[in-house]
Chain A
Amino acid sequence: MLIKKAGRRGSSVSWSRRLVPYLFVAPNLAIFLTFIIWPAIRGFWISFFDSNDGVHFKYVGNANFKEILHDPTISQVARNTITYVFFYVVLAITISIALALVVNEQKFAKGFFRAILFMPVMLSPVVVGLIWSDIVDRKHGPLNAAIKFLGGGAPGWLVDTNLGMVTVVFVGLWVHVGFYSIILLAGLQGIDRSVLEAASIDGASRMQTIRQIILPLLKPTTLVIIILATIHGFQSFDFIYTLTGGGPLGATTLIVQYIYERAFGVPIRYGLGSAAGVILFLVIFAFTALNFIAGRRRNAV
């Protein structure tokens, strides 16, 4: 410990002191290695095997991947996931930008509305699923009671396959849109005042200012939201589990639930589930990279 001032590098630093930063990093890194990196490698490896007990593994080559491409159950899961992610991302971006713009301009009770905006973020998705299954219940739910009061029928929000998907997308939006809006609001605060002043001096209307100045300047934040929404979309599972359980007739079973069921449902197929995980990773990675590249190119022009 006889280190004189500025003795930061070189031979003046003792061997034990050079070890210190590694010791600081070690616990965190050990967990990453054991519970993320090693499982990721193992998952890739297992995807070429077949196992129903996690102990005995039989090498099957790329049979799992072939099965995923041809099996009708999985193609339904894939269709559901793509449908869900598409509508979820498009609507999430549109609504969260609109809400952010509106809240940002609000003078009266702005803080209150902003708080309301992100309240759903705080709730457990499991509970959110339970709340909405109560609200949209066909016979006993308040939503259908209101529709009936207005002279409509009794739509089977959780019974009809198409409406099931609509409900799931809506609840997904309900959970996340406020979260995206908060990030966009921060982006809006970051826009240089002088640019907006210049626009107002030039006589730009409010719509023109939004379309031609605010939205382009908000693009980096929007890109972050698109990437986050895409990832969240592909990962959706928890609130759907208590809302529809993946039904009716598997109409809202998305990929993560499918993977989960290959480990804990019937039939247990660890290899097949892992292969689905590998594909999910590649898809998320590809979408993220694509968004990123597209965002860069647009910025460059």
Chain B
Amino acid sequence: MKLLRIFDANSKNNWTSASGRRTPETATILRTALLIGMTFVVLAPVIWFTLSSFKGLAELGGRPHLLPQSFSLDNYSQALKMYNYKQYFFNSVFVTTVATILTLIINSMAAYAFAKYNFRGRDGLFVLTLAMIMIPLQVILIPIYLVVAQLGMVNTYWGLIIPAAATPTGVFVIRQYMLTIPDELIESARIDGAGEFRIYARIVLPLARPALAVVAIFSILWRWNDFIWPLLVAQDEKFYTLPVALAQLNGRLAVPTNIIIAMSVMSIIPVLIMFVFMQRQIVQGISQTGMK
């Protein structure tokens, strides 16, 4: 927005300019055309895919048409009936919800300690927490699987939820926010005789709500879409989350494409709803922390 106004001012005040900079209209048209092109590249595949979910198997195997020749919801009803779709959906919802709550609790606890306490080893532990960003899951895929297997957490909800619940970015975002909460507030609560955990739960957490919201949104998005972690832990079909189920069913020749497409569309609906309602928080979260 700021830049816009400058270029605006620029075109009005350029009495010293020699060259013909009287072309803002062309620039605007070009820019808008480019952005419409971008919009097409982003939206067209998703729209095409969604329309495909209403096409029958025969039509999908024929010459491609934009609109379904025979609009039907069969794919959806079949997907719901076959292949345990409800189970996968439940698993995704359950894992996303519980994991996000757990992440919020343990991340905010650690963040509170890092932001508001002086204790020996604090800075070291904080740096250690941030250093966890340097070891992505993909790098330790095999040893982490072996650890989870040893702990008997393969094919359990706890295995899906706990290992990824502690996030360095979550601790960082909440800590930065908690630093702005005045110490006096906490001190006076202490003088009033409030216990340490009570202060955290009743005073600090409510005040840190904006930071918690950002972490919650990203945790939900990440857990809902996460593939590689549940792929390792959920070996049994009973524990498949939606992305794992989609990838595994897609790999089986016996599963028809129309079912996969219908399942995929259903799995992105919750995310698209979040996209519509939480845009501002998401943009803010991305630009402040570079997390995803």
Contacts and interface: CB of A to CB of B under 8 A. Distances in A.
A120 to B, nearest CB: 6
A257 B128 CA distance: 28
Contacts of A200: 6-7, 9-10, 13-14
A277 interface: yes
A191 to B, nearest CB: 7
A274 B31 CA distance: 48
Given A25-B109, A193-B2, A235 B138 contact: yes
Contact of A127 (B18, B129, B264): B264
A27 B271 contact: no
Contacts, number: 303
Contact of B283 (A32, A182, A237): A182
Contact of B132 (A36, A241, A262): A36
Interface string A242-265: 100100000000001001101100
Interface in B14-33: 14, 16-19, 21, 27-28, 31-32
A8 to B, nearest CB: 7
Given A32-B166, A193-B6, A200-B9, A135 B109 contact: no
A124 B227 contact: yes
B98 interface: no
A191 B6 CA distance: 12
Given A99-B38, A122-B272, A270 B146 contact: yes
Nearest to B282: A118
Contacts of A35: 144, 147-148, 162-164, 166
A27 B166 contact: yes
B76 interface: no
Interface in A258-301: 259-260, 262-263, 270, 273-274, 277-278, 280-281, 284-285, 288
Contact of A197 (B9, B41, B164, B283): B9
Given A21-B117, A237-B138, A277-B142, A134 B52 contact: yes
B123 to A, nearest CB: 12
A281 B250 CA distance: 30
Contact of A116 (B43, B143, B191, B260): B43
Interface string A179-211: 100110110110101001100110101100000
Interface in A124-146: 124-127, 129-132, 134-135, 140-142, 145
B64 interface: yes
B112 interface: yes
Given A116-B43, A277-B139, A131 B113 contact: no
B6 to A, nearest CB: 5
Contacts of A90: none
B60 interface: yes
Given A183-B286, A242-B247, A277 B141 contact: yes
A2 B60 CA distance: 75
B144 A25 contact: no
B236 interface: no
Contacts of A238: 227-228, 243, 247
Looking at B7, B135, B139, the one whose CB has the most chain A CB atoms below 10 A away is B139
Interface stretch (A40-48, A72-80, A155-163): A40-48
Contacts of B63: 140, 145
Given A130-B264, A145-B64, A189-B2, A123 B225 contact: yes
Interface string A86-130: 000000000000010011111110100111111111111111011
Interface of A: 1, 3, 5-6, 8-9, 17-18, 20-22, 24-25, 27-29, 31-32, 34-40, 42-43, 46, 54, 99, 102-108, 110, 113-127, 129-132, 134-135, 140-142, 145, 174, 178-179, 182-183, 185-186, 188-189, 191, 193, 196-197, 200-201, 203, 205-206, 224, 228, 231, 234-235, 237-238, 241-242, 245, 256, 259-260, 262-263, 270, 273-274, 277-278, 280-281, 284-285, 288
Interface of B: 1-7, 9-10, 13-14, 16-19, 21, 27-28, 31-32, 34-35, 38-39, 41-43, 45-46, 48-49, 52, 60-64, 66, 105-107, 109-110, 112-114, 117-119, 122, 125, 128-129, 132, 134-136, 138-149, 151, 162-166, 171, 187, 190-191, 193, 195-196, 200, 221, 224-225, 227-228, 231-232, 242-244, 246-247, 250-251, 257, 260-261, 264, 267-268, 271-272, 274-275, 279, 282-283, 286-288, 290, 292
24 contacts: A9-B118, A27-B109, A28-B110, A31-B162, A31-B166, A39-B146, A40-B135, A46-B146, A123-B46, A124-B267, A124-B268, A126-B227, A132-B45, A134-B45, A134-B52, A134-B261, A142-B48, A238-B243, A242-B246, A256-B138, A259-B141, A270-B142, A277-B138, A281-B139
Given A27-B105, A28-B166, A130-B250, 18 more contacts: A24-B112, A27-B110, A39-B140, A105-B7, A108-B32, A116-B42, A119-B43, A126-B246, A134-B261, A135-B49, A182-B287, A193-B3, A196-B6, A203-B17, A205-B19, A263-B232, A277-B142, A280-B138
